[in-house]
Structure 1
Amino acid sequence: MYTKLDPLTLYIQEKNPACILLTETWLSPVVPDSLIGLNDYILYRTDRTSRGGGVYALLNRTIFKQFSVTSCSKNYGNIELIRVTCVSSCQSFSMVYIYRPPGTSVVEDQLLART
């Protein structure tokens, strides 16, 4: 992800999207939010302690005034998940962002399907 930060930052500055959702970030808890966050965005992330994976969400704080975020990864084994509910002046919506690694077990899939 580090090699892709500059193009991603330029894209965000040019397009000013409401939200950015990324998977396979390869981030770990040792990477500070200050290195990967942006001023006008609120950052949420779920990192892996092993190589690969990871889920990352940036939400534009000028568009969405209220957020409800849940990181549910601990409930699903190797599957990483962020659930976000956003409220703006004209709409409210929820989204779930999932990273399902190769080799995920049937049990983990069944746990995920029940949500």
Structure 2
Amino acid sequence: MAQIRAIAFELKPEVICITESWMHPVIPDAFLRIDECGVYRQDRTSERGGGSLLYIKGIFKHFTFDLNAASFSDNYCFASIILSPRQKMILGCIYNPPIIP
């Protein structure tokens, strides 16, 4: 996380999407914190690895929502970003796990 925070501090991105986060529900949101960003997470609890993190700069109004897509289960997180009163953007961070026979 320290390396991701350092990159975010240097580049000042408005959005960061991370897959293969390897986070688990026991890891608190405070550990994932990046200054001036909201974080949405989807931990992959069905198997080892995977997971998605979505960071959005606080200058935007944003909220998360669930697609209720059973086929994705715990492999995605989506957020809606309000750009203006008449414009919004849907942003998704999707982990596509390998198919291992």
TM bucket (normalised to shorter chain) is: 0.7 to 0.9
In structure 2, how many angstroms separate the alpha carbons of the residues matched to 1:48 and 1:34?
Answer: 18
Question: Residue type matched to 2:88 in 1?
Answer: S
1:63-102 pair list within 5 angstroms: 64=60, 66-72=61-67, 75-76=70-71, 80-89=75-84, 92-102=88-98
**Identity level (%):** 27
1:79 deviates by 5.7
User: Does the Cα contact within 8 Å between 1:68 and 1:86 map onto a contact in 2?
Assistant: yes
In structure 2, how many angstroms separate the alpha carbons of the residues matched to 1:73 and 1:54?
Answer: 17
Ranges of 4+ aligned residues in structure 1 off by more than 4 Å: none
Counterpart of 1:28?
24
1:78 deviates by 5.2
- Gapped regions of structure 2 (runs ≥ 5): none
Higher share in helix:
1
Aligned residues: 98
- Gapped regions of structure 1 (runs ≥ 5): 105-115
1:77 deviates by 5.0
Counterpart of 1:110?
none
RMSD: 2.3
Question: Residue type matched to 2:58 in 1?
Answer: R
User: Does the Cα contact within 8 Å between 2:82 and 2:88 map onto a contact in 1?
Assistant: yes
In structure 2, how many angstroms separate the alpha carbons of the residues matched to 1:29 and 1:12?
Answer: 24
Moved more, 42-51 or 77-86: 77-86
TM-score, normalising length: structure 2: 0.82
Q: Deviations over 1:12-47 (max 9, x none)?
A: 011111111000000000111111112311010000
Greater relative CO (CA pairs within 8 A, separation 6+):
2
Higher share in strand:
2
TM-score, normalising length: structure 1: 0.73
